[in-house]
Structure 1
Amino acid sequence: MSRTLVLVTESYPYGGITESVFAAPDVRALAAEWDCVIIAPLLRRGKIEDSLPANVEVCDSIVNNPFWKHKWLRIFKALSPRVLSALSNRKPLASMKYALAALTVRDCLAALVGGKGLKPENTLLMSYWFSYETTAMMWLGLPYISRAHGYDLSLKKAGKLRTKTLANSLGIWAASKAGAARLQETIADPLHKIIVAPLGSQNADKSKSSHHKASDRAVTFLSCARVVDIKRVSLNLDFMEALADARPDWKFEWIHIGDGDRMPELKMRAAESRRRNLSIELKGAIGNSEVHELYRTRTIDWFLLLSTYEGGLPISICEALSYGVPVVATDTGGIPEAVDDSCGILMPADANPDEFVLSIIPYLDSDYRYGELSTGAFSRWTEHLDSDTLRPAFARAISSLPMLQNL
């Protein structure tokens, strides 16, 4: 019997810089396990740029649905018992919006399933984010699973609905142990449906970045994150300025990849930072292939991520480790699952620039110490965070779920 997986994404493969990094490796791995994979995006952010496997198709049943495109039309679904029941939650208005979105997606998926002639006995639904689209799948009545790796780990609206959605699923795969714990803080999991499955990252040719030696008296730092409050990218600049002041006879370079609502403020601060031994390059948002090209062609010594919280295990950290680049990151969320003193430096969440300088100076002065960290970084990725191992393992795991053995 032919088996079909229906995958609901936010926008993949229709543009979007971030989600393609998450979703593309999964799609390739899933296509190897299923006869047909149908991707149903919620949004269209551009044209399809990725080359998809032959047995993968894209269905626009959600993005083209008028009730989805025009939110005001959803008011006609407001008297549905499923929507009205959401009013009993602690945040009734937010829960009602969640339920309306879920009901709209449910109707879109019903049209997709009916139009394709899919049957419950040979179809699995999967959402890439554990949100209203997952609840839509529960209401549709077909077997379903979900990943969870970002904002969806701590959604507090529609608490009762999310608890029921988890309980009726075949499993919710969190991207880190910390993410799973965060999810369990917001919804009950008596049936142990929450499973950990890191995403990891790719490095196709297993190449490593080149590094400076202590005798060069030069160090290059790279960071990659949205320029928003939770990522604290401005703290990177504080750390860089403190290091430049501590070593005035050295040259430091900081390259940042990413954009966000705090970028104008960051650009202004960078322009005002007039240290002759510190150069700053704010590249904005670039494609993932360009990120990998940067690691391959530039001399990159350290990676920085100073978020206040990371529920998942950041792919940006995995990418740095894959090129043998040690990581300086805050000890929060899923980060300690990838970074320890064998491959980087974990800083307290409230670390100040002086602590950073004291922590990193020993590695700047010793090629041996730095080399040990670089070797440890590559080993950590090879042994635990290579997506070419992790993604097929995830695809095999969901294909072998007991309830799917007859598919």
Structure 2
Amino acid sequence: MKWSDKKIVYFFTGTYPYGTIETFIENEIIYLSNVFDKVIIVPTTSTKQRRKLPSNVIVDDGLSEMFRKKNRKLKNFFTFSTLKALLYDWKYLHSIAAIRRINSFGSDAKQAYNWLKKNEVNNALVYTYWLNGKTHGALNYKLKLQKNIKVISRAHGYDLYNYRHNPSFWPYRQKTLQLIDRLYVISLDGKKYLELNYKTKNNIVVSRLGVVDKGTLGETSKDNILRILSIANFNKVKRIPLLYENLLKYAIDNPNARFQWIHFGSGDGMEDLKKKIESNNIDNLHVDLKGRVSNKFIYDYLSKEPIDVFINVSESEGLPVSIMEVQSFGKFVIATNVGGSKEMIFKGLGYLLDKNFSYKDFKQAIDYFNSNLFMIQKKAPQIRGKCLQAYDGSKNFNMFANDILNLLDE
């Protein structure tokens, strides 16, 4: 293959660099900009709030304008490509929801295809941060127009595990896995899932995300208050109300102990939970819902404020960056055994809960932490060391950036 002298990557995101989500890209973009001559970010959604970027990173809002067009999904439905997609995934067509899912996927693919065609993308790398319709659109563009491009993607959780969806499938998944130049999954569990369910091992590589080493251990409580931290947006998968219900029961069962629960994250259901907390007001459990904040704010909080234990009760995960973040400050983690979480709970340095844990299981986890508090605090440097060995962002993102750069020479 003959490539242009300049190494260019077209980076398709959801909202980044706009808004406040997809925060994990903030670290990765630095390493991409270091190895590529130019990084062109193509977000699906654009807003007024935009984060700072390296000088050789530019943003093209053309795709987001396409996605804002009215009736784009309706127009896509009455096309040959939609009929073709319905025939390809016919075995999943048990409901109207399945047809809508295929059409939505196809519409997203078409917009990505049209954007690439309009911009005459060639002699470059196309990288979709999520394994979705835009990935399929890029592959169609490459094959139909015989373009000299490489198409890669990351796969995390929602874009990887079929059971995260109803109906539980991803359109064209088998074909996408066969055609993609390389797929980077963020956990070993994700790699095994794809290989088992799609009988393919082609070009699937584990490339973990990572965190920035702040070079310090976090503070712990010294006033006999057990401080519990959680970080997640409010949605059904994260089960934040379930965490509160179990913390409330534990506080009621231990009236002579004092607890503080700090939560970062917002979304649908947060206001309802606030009302429930107000109605259940008890003296020995103080709840502090801080809402959505920047990554920098969380890092500053972890470095300065006392935190004793971190809890994640998600019913599904990819590889939670929040766990990496707290472990990099030496914090003990209690997490449900879902997705890649089990890969992050180091032996003797964390606690795994069953996905469908009971209050008895939850109580046992907190009791274990309390009864081993002195030992766990002594092991904080070990937790931090293990975390950075596996999830050091400077190492992981640099390896990833150089690996995808080398794809251009293969």
Whether TM-score is above 0.5 comes out as yes
Counterpart in 1 of 2:26?
24
Counterpart in 2 of 1:208?
217
Confirm or deny that 1:138 pairs with 2:148.
Answer: no
TM-score, length-scaled by structure 1: 0.89
Counterpart in 1 of 2:186?
175
**Kept after mapping to 2: 8 A contact 1:324/1:378:** yes
Give the deviation of 1:56 after TM superposition. Answer: 0.9
Cα distance in structure 2, aligned partners of 1:218 and 1:76: 58
Can you give the 5+ residue segments of structure 1 that lack an aligned partner in the other structure? none
**Kept after mapping to 2: 8 A contact 1:98/1:158:** no
Q: Secondary structure at the match of 2:110?
A: helix
Change (3 A) 1:159 1:223: closer
Change (3 A) 1:172 1:247: same
Q: Secondary structure at the match of 2:53?
A: coil
Confirm or deny that 1:225 pairs with 2:224.
Answer: no
Counterpart in 2 of 1:353?
359
Cα distance in structure 2, aligned partners of 1:47 and 1:61: 17
**Kept after mapping to 1: 8 A contact 2:45/2:64:** yes
Change (3 A) 1:299 1:324: same
Change (3 A) 1:306 1:191: closer
Give the deviation of 1:151 after TM superposition. Answer: 1.3
Counterpart in 2 of 1:195?
205
Confirm or deny that 1:334 pairs with 2:340.
Answer: yes
Change (3 A) 1:224 1:106: same
After superposition, the CA RMSD in angstroms is 2.1
Counterpart in 1 of 2:243?
236
One-letter code of the match for 1:35?
D
**Kept after mapping to 1: 8 A contact 2:217/2:380:** no
**Kept after mapping to 2: 8 A contact 1:327/1:339:** yes
Counterpart in 2 of 1:394?
400
The farther-off stretch of 279-288 and 86-95 is: 86-95
One-letter code of the match for 1:33?
V
Q: Secondary structure at the match of 1:140?
A: helix
TM-score, length-scaled by structure 2: 0.88
Give the deviation of 1:264 after TM superposition. Answer: 2.6
Counterpart in 1 of 2:115?
108
The farther-off stretch of 316-325 and 339-348 is: 339-348
Deviations along 1:9-53, one digit per CA (max 9) or x if unpaired, are 0111111x221x22122211111111111101110133212x211
Cα distance in structure 1, aligned partners of 2:358 and 2:241: 12
**Kept after mapping to 2: 8 A contact 1:74/1:104:** no
Deviations along 1:338-397, one digit per CA (max 9) or x if unpaired, are 013432111122222333333333432455322244233212212111112111111111
**Kept after mapping to 2: 8 A contact 1:220/1:300:** yes
Q: Secondary structure at the match of 1:240?
A: helix
Cα distance in structure 2, aligned partners of 1:308 and 1:146: 24
One-letter code of the match for 1:12?
Y
Counterpart in 2 of 1:53?
54
Matches within 5 A, 1:209-288: 209-213=218-222, 216-288=223-295
**Kept after mapping to 1: 8 A contact 2:102/2:171:** no
Deviations along 1:206-261, one digit per CA (max 9) or x if unpaired, are 22211125xx4221001011222221112222332233234322221001111122
Change (3 A) 1:241 1:400: same
Give the deviation of 1:129 after TM superposition. Answer: 0.4
One-letter code of the match for 2:209?
L
**Kept after mapping to 2: 8 A contact 1:211/1:299:** yes
Confirm or deny that 1:292 pairs with 2:294.
Answer: no
**Kept after mapping to 1: 8 A contact 2:72/2:107:** no
Confirm or deny that 1:405 pairs with 2:409.
Answer: yes
Counterpart in 2 of 1:124?
125
